[in-house]
Amino acid sequence: MQEYLIKDIKVGLKHSFEVNITELQMQYFLEISGDINPMHLDSSYAKSKGMKDKIVFGMLISSFYSTLVGVYIPGKYALLHSIDISFVKPVFIGDKLVVEGVVSSVHELFHQIEVNATIRNYKNEKISRAKIKIGVLND
Amino acid sequence: MTKELVFGKVQEIFRDIFDDDKLVIQDSTNSSDIDDWDSLNHINLVVAIENELGIKFDLGELSSLKDVASMIELILIKLNN
């Protein structure tokens, strides 16, 4: 886990990590959220609506922004303020994703940073983007 | 920059931050008048004002930004110095 303090963080600081999307993650998310929409559970239904297969929960995908913030940028001293998320393309079970964040602004007075984040699939297609505001606590 | 011009810019920033195109601020407008004017949106307001007007507030000045009039007054002081 990274342990950046506000004084250590500069515009352009970047981190990334990879995740694999599994059926088990889908089952856990279903149990936690109670989202029983068939687009996420029923392949036949999803295909009837033009999808390749049932699609992964968008909020499951966005949970990796939590990891980006809490583990990488800034890591230990993070306090999440806000996230503005867009979902650009669907994600399917078995997809390998790359989550990346780049610091776009640092406000030392408020101990707040802004991170532009993206998630891409194995084809390097952007499947989600987010603007994240994060407070940075003192050690 | 005149007070009227600064007021107009601050008005637009408030509308953007609070996502309300019809929001009309007055000199006396403060956090009690706008439901979403919480601590996080106060940061968003101050940062947006700094970025829009090219100024920087000091830590000691933040506590004085209690209403629109005090914001405008401090902005004008910074712009004219």
pLDDT tens per residue across span B37-78: 998 999 999 999 999 999 999 888 887 788 999 999 999 999
Chain A contacts of B40, Cβ < 8 Å?
Answer: 81-82, 133
Reported as half-sphere exposure (CB side, CA atoms, 13 A), residue B72 has a value of 21
pTM of the shown model: 0.86
Nearest chain A residue to B46 by CA: give it. Answer: A110
Q: Which CATH architecture has domain A6-136?
A: Roll (3.10)
Q: What is the predicted pLDDT for the residue at B68?
A: 94
Q: Which residue has the tokens 């307001």?
A: B45
Ranges of residues in chain A with a pLDDT under 50 are: none
Q: Please name which of A44, A71, A41 lies closest in space to residue A57, comparing C-alpha atoms.
A: A41
Chain B residue with minimal CA distance to A106?
Answer: B47
Where do the domains of chain B lie, and which CATH numbers do they carry?
A: 3-80 (1.10.1200.10)
Q: A64-85: per-residue pLDDT in tens? A: 999 999 999 999 999 999 999 9
Which chain A residues are within 8 Å of B62, Cβ to Cβ? 109
Which pLDDT score is estimated for B49? 94
pLDDT attached to residue B61: 86
Spell out the domain ranges in chain A: 6-136
Q: What is the mean pLDDT of residues B29-33?
A: 93
Q: Which CA distances in Å does B36 have to A82, B40, B50? A: 14, 9, 20
Q: What is the dihedral of CA A78, A81, A87, A93, to 10 degrees?
A: 40
With CB atoms and an 8 Å threshold, state whether A109 touches B40.
no
Q: What pLDDT does residue B62 have?
A: 82
Q: What is the pLDDT of residue A59?
A: 97
* pLDDT given at position B64: 78
Interchain pair A107, B47: CB under 8 A: yes
Q: Could you give the CA distance from residue B19 to residue B14 in angstroms, rounded to a whole number?
A: 8
Q: What is the pLDDT of residue B39?
A: 87
How much is the pLDDT for B21? 94
